[in-house]
Amino acid sequence: MSRSSYNPFDQPGGAGPEMQHFAPSSPFLDPPRPLSGSIPDRSLASTPRDDAPMLSHSGSAEAVTKESYSNESSDFGATKPLIKRPWVWIVAATGILAVVVVAVVVPVYFTVVKPNHNNSVKSGTASGSDTNGSGNAAVGSGTASATAPVQTAVTTGGDGSTVTMEDGTTFTYKNQFGGFWVNNPEDPFDNSAQCNSWTPPLNQTWTWGKDRIWGVNIGGLFVLEPFIVPALYEANPGSVDEWTLSTLLAQKGEGQLQSALEDHYNTFITEQDIAEIAGAGLNWIRLQIPFWAIEAWGDVGTDDNGNKVAEPFLARTCWKYVLRLLGWARKYGLRVNLDLHTIPGSQNGFNHSGKSGSINWMNGPMGIANAERSLDYMRIITEFISQPEWKDLIPIFSMINEPFMAKIGRDQVESFYLKAYNMARGVTGTGAGNGPMLAFHDGFSGPGGWAGFLSGADRLALDTHPYFAFNGKANRDPVNVTADGGDGQEFGGQWPLLACTSWGKMMNTSRQAFGVTFAGEFSNAINDCGLYVNGVNGDTAANSAYGPGCSYWEDYANWSDENKQGLLNFALASMDALGDWFFWTWKIGPSSTTNSVRAPLWSYQLGLQNGWMPTDPRVASGKCEHLGADMAPFDGNFQSWQTGGAGAGVIAPAATQDLAWPPQLSNVAAADQAQLPQYTPTGTLSTLPPPTFSTPGVTVTATVGNGWSNNQDTTPMVTPIAGCAYPDAWDALNAAIPAGGCQPAA
């Protein structure tokens, strides 16, 4: 039966069951401690609580990675930011001034940093030292009443201030760009922090086209890619993706999967990493999360042998760590592009979709069913990040990462994008301030083909991932030679100018023809050399692009200064060409066999430490013009509706008339389309829980929210239809379509 008239989001309010929270226990965190902002003498975001309410639970093909494919634009073929004057830290000296110290914390936050903030610092017990490890005395004087809670002053710090992390260790905050962090235990949602002088603090408006995204991905933390965290895969032979890694870890014994992954969540990215990102002159992070942060299903159908298939992922566990990292981003003034990186059934067959192999999202017999599940997860995330406590911190929601459109089909992807857009704006409403900018990936087609798509849509952004590394060529051309173009005094060979000519005009043209366009991923990788870059089984001579000469690119310790300068110029040219960007990725973990990073072209942090990434990204501005590239400059002015102004959300009927739902799917006979298995919207509605704050002596004055921004949205989640013999939702391309009983009641 056709689902063209069925919309699980159009049921009347109140029709669904009450939302449920569940609280699974975790034996792998020392005793439960409050979440971010709750411990005044430690960092703003602390260890996740085990007793935070969690979520409800309903219920071997050849390995492929995204690195097998690339944008059309990757095969060879913005305006400068308006820099504000940095503000000057005012140092209040007490006692005799012996040495002028750069490292000064400013606890008089509301009178020095943000005098217009409407909160005030409460009085409490006088103290001669700052309990937040900032190096200054706490604001406030007098003694608190014996019956009154002791209030803790807001503390803040700039370049040279001391930060104490949750484990008691300290580091010195280094930020030479006027950035400052803010810790407010009474209001852990305080958005006053500023990462640098040219980026608005979180509580001020981000202006699309004027303010530029200079960001970095937090890859490998919550979605475990082999080349980013190789040691986890090296320790578990046979693992090629998170599906097989989770399976093998679980087979080691009870609790082994949870122990290994929670240890990773706790250690791979720390608060100091987030502080370093702000200190590097960056202003955004793109944070990858998996759908199993919400739930995983214990029954997704049966395999060819009739065995029940369960998703092996560690479900409902990483979310508390996501909240902690979001707290760190808030503390240091970094905006967040939240990226739903994995999708049920796999949207691309790559290892970072959850499972390598076949594509079963919007493709094949289980394509619609998996799409229905993914819409639920997108809705739950949209509800959470549209709450007042989160909307200024998370201005972009990247709803799906890298759907492989060449195999799924353009009509199918566009149809889903419209469906997802309508769902999200049904939650948020339209117009600036109502929910996030919604970002869709270009499907590896390049931005050019999306001009005019859903014209009139409210705050719709296009995400593209340009890489030279995956254009099918060996790309061994050197960077330690004189750069093409320019004054002949720089290194880089062909690569810097090639970045400018391949991407500069492409991006600016898309801003004019489509609207907000950014590069959600790019890197310094001119080739695909690096451990596991092509997947665990991809680093072989059989791969024509991975061969002689790769050992040099894996061994950064032996790179010459000229090589580093060439890579630096390539990075600067890429940044200037792309205009708004997120480097992939912040950190690459070491191999356990060499104790060294073996994919160094992908690590922003390593490049900063060793001289092939810029210590100040502003120096990228004008690089392409210097090299002689035609950038087709964009003037920074988007149409009003593209950024939530007049006309936002008014889409012409002609723009959607051919985008039926559900669409006809590829790899399904025309006669079978109406019989495709689907799910039914009768499941328990889950929510993503907010953090819990409980600091002794501190009263949290801020509202926390309940994870759900729109109380009128009560439609249940989808769940399997009783009696339907579903094929394996992750491996169904060759499966027979069930004879009947697999469509919801009309």
In a domain, 538, yes or no: yes
Task: Check whether the bond before 585 is cis (ω within 30° of 0).
Answer: yes
* Mean pLDDT calculated for residue range 677-693: 96
Confidence of residue 233 (pLDDT cuts 50, 70, 90): very high
In a domain, 385, yes or no: yes
In a domain, 160, yes or no: no
CA distances from 212 to 83, 208, 513, 583 (A): 10, 7, 18, 14
- Domain with 244 in it: 211-663
* Mean pLDDT calculated for residue range 246-268: 99
* Mean pLDDT calculated for residue range 381-405: 99
Distance of CA 590 to the CA centre of its chain: 22
250: CB partners within 8 A, 6+ apart: 256, 257, 312
Confidence of residue 362 (pLDDT cuts 50, 70, 90): very high
Q: What is the pTM of this model?
A: 0.82
Report d(CA 409, CA 55) in Å as an integer.
34
CA distances from 241 to 238, 322, 349, 357, 420 (A): 9, 21, 10, 10, 27
How many residues are given for the chain?
A: 746
CATH number of the domain encompassing residue 429: 3.20.20.80
In a domain, 18, yes or no: no
Tell me the per-residue pLDDT of 2-31, one tens digit each, with 9 for 90 and over: 333 323 223 333 333 344 433 333 322 333
Tell me the per-residue pLDDT of 701-744, one tens digit each, with 9 for 90 and over: 999 999 999 999 999 999 999 999 999 999 999 999 998 889 99
In a domain, 248, yes or no: yes
DSSP state, residue 439: E
Residue 692: per-residue pLDDT? 92
Question: How many domains, in total, are found in the chain?
Answer: 1
Does 141 have pLDDT greater than 60? no
Q: Average per-residue pLDDT in the chain?
A: 84
Specify the range with the lowest mean pLDDT, choosing from 76-80, 230-234, 411-415: 76-80
User: Which residues face 439 on adjacent strands?
Assistant: 398, 461
b/e per residue, 422-450, with b = 16+ CB within 10 A? bbbbbbbebbeebbbbbbbbbbbbbbeeb
Does 81 have pLDDT greater than 70? no
Confidence of residue 539 (pLDDT cuts 50, 70, 90): low
* Mean pLDDT calculated for residue range 40-66: 36
b/e per residue, 618-649, with b = 16+ CB within 10 A? bebbebbebbebebebbebebeebbbbeeebb
Does 254 have pLDDT greater than 50? yes
In a domain, 194, yes or no: no
Instruction: Please give the helix or strand (H or E) that residue 155 lies within, else none.
Output: strand 155-157
Residue 547: per-residue pLDDT? 55
Residue 722: per-residue pLDDT? 95
Does 301 have pLDDT greater than 90? yes
Q: Is the dihedral of CA 420, 421, 422, 425 positive or negative?
A: positive
CB 606 within 8 A of CB 598: no
Tell me the per-residue pLDDT of 108-121, one tens digit each, with 9 for 90 and over: 333 334 333 333 33
Pairing label, strands 437-441, 396-400: parallel
In a domain, 123, yes or no: no
CB 398 within 8 A of CB 519: no
Confidence of residue 167 (pLDDT cuts 50, 70, 90): confident
CB 719 within 8 A of CB 392: no
Percentage helix, strand, coil for the chain under 3-state DSSP, each rounded to 5? 25, 10, 65
Confidence of residue 75 (pLDDT cuts 50, 70, 90): very low
In a domain, 153, yes or no: no
SS (H, E, C) 303-326: CCCCCECCCCCCCCCCHHHHHHHH
- Tell which residue, 11, 14, 15, 8, has the closest CA to residue 681: 8
- Tell which residue, 266, 399, 374, has the closest CA to residue 320: 266
Does 660 have pLDDT greater than 80? yes
Residue 537: per-residue pLDDT? 87
CB 697 within 8 A of CB 148: no
Report d(CA 671, CA 393) in Å as an integer.
47
**CA-based end-to-end distance of the chain:** 9
Confidence of residue 695 (pLDDT cuts 50, 70, 90): confident
Does 638 have pLDDT greater than 50? yes
CA distances from 674 to 301, 636, 665, 740, 742 (A): 19, 46, 10, 11, 11
